[in-house]
Chains A and B, each alone.
Chain A
């Protein structure tokens, strides 16, 4: 129950800010910090590292088996703490980072709504609940990336992120649907017990992976994440490094135990993870914008996490949980640190950020610590977790998947060390002069709101705290590691391991030493300034697809929506005739048989009807056309009379007479001849359609008559007509009694048409 309260409190602050506190964003942010802190305390009170689980469920769509189930198990505690504590830290930071205007109010509102969604996502106990919060995070992320709605690139990045993660969300939904239909549940524990296998499980597994990979920016969907860096730094730090991109990892972590044995799962997860890790690392080594370096390093680290959760080994799961924590802490510190530097000296160019060193020694020191943690260097937390990852991968069976995973992660780790060291060089570089102009601009703006000391503390506070935590947790790795055992066990009951500051000389440590040495050399030699890199290939492919889709849509609209009524009608007729032809060809029914030559009188009347009908088409004067139409009607009435349908004949006679009257009334004011403007399309084509329709319809009628499979209900009507309705004329009895509602509907149609006619006439007459 309290869990839901926590989620809704966060949403409530978000909504309140967007609606009620637009003018007091600072107050809203403070409120948000309080709510997030309370959530964190609430979660922590359940016991960090404790093994007990509490859950709560709300019935939502019981008929479909969909309920909102949240559960606080060990893993959820870790993730929820990350979400709420980092959220509070970033919110404090944002107070100093933004000017307190309408945009900031929007930021706070969206931020809190996002935090609530993310909180719900990590607590979700079943796939359906997770999907609901998952989609919410996609939407908030879209709005936050596009926070600066006047920038075209920000809007494009937002659209790109939304479409990519949205497409993944649809895949996830399809997977959830398959599992729900196949196993009657989407709960993680129940699915694990069911042990999915077979084709449906394969399909579901692939769909879930597509969802996870788009969300967590795994190859080939990695391109949207660096683009999302168009968002303000607090957004990037929180959504695109610490929390939202972890949603895919959370999904993987929760579902890996379920699907680990399903054929494609391990291969795909490991290959995607390894490729992402190496590709992200490579790009991070070449970017010039420090924020983009961090963005690609996030992509790379997410690749590592994917591999760890994908291989499904008992050490790997533990290493994955540990590395999620380590990564979130050092990455949030780094992002916020780059934001501070950007805020102070107005640039993020890696060849220039060294200028901030002298002005901000504390922040710089904090960033160095976080960078060392990212590189995985003793004694920081990143060392212990990276070490554990290597242990887990070295422990794998030496089958093809295991070798690929190990080799990929080693190469990726070398690159991680390299880009960390390169950024370290950039931060520590002393031979750059600060560009003062922008510093002045920033301080003067800020002076209006805060004393500059408060700004400094709010800005660099979270950076320093993050670095301090990385260091402290690294030094007390054994204790921190023991807290992470229960969370790993809640994912995989076999998970077991521990963290250590000094693991002793073993294979992993030797590998680690080699990785650091090679990486350091590469990082030290990598140039800081690079010729401008072209847009990422994935981004270009996406844009190409997007543009092509839009263009194709317009072209299809242009072709199908020509705006010409004759073309629409012609196409409708062709499709109808085509359907009939298809029926004739596919079923190939008997066409002959049951055809008689008819009486001479029938022949005479039919010929008259046909001649008059042709007359309707040929006569140019409107008046003549109307009269010919009346003639056709009378001839048909005679045919009806000869076919044993006197009621029809009478009605037809009366109605045709009325029709002629209506035509004459309407035509009175028009010119005699219809216009000759009929050259919209070749007359031949119209004739072709007409002849086709004229041949196909009677042929189909022949087939229909020959294919009767049930007797007519006529005998029943004959039997009941006199007894039940007291009438001998069965047609009349049907109309007013057996099918009386049909007749009532018909009368309503007449009334509506009459109302329409009256209104049209009166308006036009005015």
Chain B
């Protein structure tokens, strides 16, 4: 493993983590793409040393083929995921002219109910037993 691999992984993960915590679905998708690349590099770096392509008949130190097979699958599946995400973003945009992920309304309601209960000293016992 070289210092450069170290640095690339650090930057890809950092940028990916930064972007998936946004609200715009487009930027989340971009973040997922960057993270995916980072993960692929991690798997390759973790599993093998640099060497010749794992093709029988080649001379020299062959690299480990197994991580490559795994990452190959991961690349394709990552593409499927990105495509689906972007379709969602596109659909959201055509319907609402926005691709932001809003807060879940139901979750918000539970939170405000708990606040009300704390303020008023409401008795949940009675409230919840009444059908």
Inter-subunit contact B76/A655 (CB<8 Å): yes
Inter-subunit contact A569/B21 (CB<8 Å): yes
Total residues of chain A contacting the partner, CB 8 A: 111
* Given A152-B126, A569-B20, A717-B66, residue A636 in contact with residue B11 (CB < 8 A): no
Inter-subunit contact A713/B26 (CB<8 Å): no
Partner among A543, A554, A626, A651 whose Cβ is within 8 Å of the Cβ of B72: A651
Total residues of chain B contacting the partner, CB 8 A: 101
| In the complex, chain B residues 67-94 whose Cβ is within 8 Å of any chain A Cβ | 68-69, 71-73, 75-84, 86-91, 93-94
Inter-subunit contact A749/B65 (CB<8 Å): no
* Given A554-B110, A666-B87, A686-B21, residue A718 in contact with residue B66 (CB < 8 A): no
Q: With a CB–CB cut-off of 8 A, which chain B residues contact A729?
A: 54-56
What 0/1 pattern do residues 671 to 704 of A give for CB contact below 8 A with B? 0001101101000001101110111011001101
Partner among A625, A640, A680, A764 whose Cβ is within 8 Å of the Cβ of B91: A764
Inter-subunit contact B73/A746 (CB<8 Å): yes
Inter-subunit contact A701/B91 (CB<8 Å): no
Task: Kindly provide the distance from the CB of B107 to the nearest chain A CB, expressed in whole angstroms.
Answer: 3
Complexed CA–CA distance, A439 and B111 (Å)? 52
Complexed CA–CA distance, A554 and B89 (Å)? 33
* Given A674-B27, A731-B54, A731-B72, residue A565 in contact with residue B101 (CB < 8 A): yes
Q: With a CB–CB cut-off of 8 A, which chain A residues contact B101?
A: 565
Q: Judge whether A265 is part of the interface by a CB distance below 8 angstroms.
A: no
| In the complex, chain A residues 720-765 whose Cβ is within 8 Å of any chain B Cβ | 721-722, 728-731, 734-735, 739, 742-743, 746, 749-750, 753-754, 756-757, 760-761, 763-765
Complexed CA–CA distance, A90 and B126 (Å)? 32
Inter-subunit contact B54/A644 (CB<8 Å): yes
Task: Name which of B8, B22, B50 has the most chain A CB atoms within 10 A of its CB.
Answer: B8
Partner among A558, A632, A644 whose Cβ is within 8 Å of the Cβ of B114: A558
Complexed CA–CA distance, A667 and B40 (Å)? 26
Task: Kindly provide the distance from the CB of B111 to the nearest chain A CB, expressed in whole angstroms.
Answer: 4
Q: Is the interface of B mostly helix, strand, loop or mixed?
A: helix
Q: With a CB–CB cut-off of 8 A, which chain B residues contact A570?
A: 21
Q: With a CB–CB cut-off of 8 A, which chain A residues contact B111?
A: 557-558, 561-563
Q: With a CB–CB cut-off of 8 A, which chain A residues contact B86?
A: 662-663, 666
Q: With a CB–CB cut-off of 8 A, which chain B residues contact A647?
A: 53, 68, 72
Q: With a CB–CB cut-off of 8 A, which chain A residues contact B105?
A: 563
Task: Name which of A558, A691, A763 has the most chain B CB atoms within 10 A of its CB.
Answer: A558
* Given A617-B18, A756-B84, residue A702 in contact with residue B1 (CB < 8 A): yes
Partner among A555, A594, A714, A763 whose Cβ is within 8 Å of the Cβ of B65: A714
Inter-subunit contact A610/B8 (CB<8 Å): yes
Q: With a CB–CB cut-off of 8 A, which chain B residues contact A686?
A: 18, 21
Inter-subunit contact B55/A730 (CB<8 Å): yes
Q: Judge whether A358 is part of the interface by a CB distance below 8 angstroms.
A: no
Inter-subunit contact A629/B65 (CB<8 Å): no
Q: With a CB–CB cut-off of 8 A, which chain B residues contact A546?
A: 125
Complexed CA–CA distance, A728 and B62 (Å)? 12
Partner among B8, B33, B65, B110 whose Cβ is within 8 Å of the Cβ of A731: B65
Point out residues on B near A: beta carbons under 8 Å. 1-24, 26-27, 29-30, 33-34, 37-38, 40-42, 44-48, 50-57, 62-66, 68-69, 71-73, 75-84, 86-91, 93-95, 98-101, 103-108, 110-111, 113-115, 117-118, 123-126, 128-130
17 residue pairs from A and B, CB less than 8 Å apart: A551-B117, A561-B104, A563-B105, A609-B8, A609-B11, A647-B53, A655-B79, A677-B23, A698-B10, A698-B13, A701-B6, A714-B54, A714-B62, A721-B56, A746-B77, A756-B84, A760-B90
Point out residues on A near B: beta carbons under 8 Å. 152, 155-156, 159, 543, 546-547, 550-551, 554-555, 557-558, 561-566, 569-570, 573, 594-598, 602-603, 606, 609-610, 613-614, 616-617, 622, 625-626, 629, 632-633, 636, 639-640, 642-648, 651-652, 655, 658-659, 662-663, 665-667, 669-670, 674-675, 677-678, 680, 686-687, 689-691, 693-695, 697-698, 701-702, 704-705, 712-714, 717-718, 721-722, 728-731, 734-735, 739, 742-743, 746, 749-750, 753-754, 756-757, 760-761, 763-765
Known contacts A655-B78, A659-B33, A662-B83, then 19 further A-B pairs from the complex at CB < 8 Å, ordered by chain A residue: A565-B23, A570-B21, A603-B4, A613-B11, A616-B19, A616-B33, A647-B68, A651-B72, A652-B75, A655-B75, A655-B76, A663-B29, A666-B87, A666-B90, A678-B22, A690-B17, A735-B69, A753-B81, A760-B87
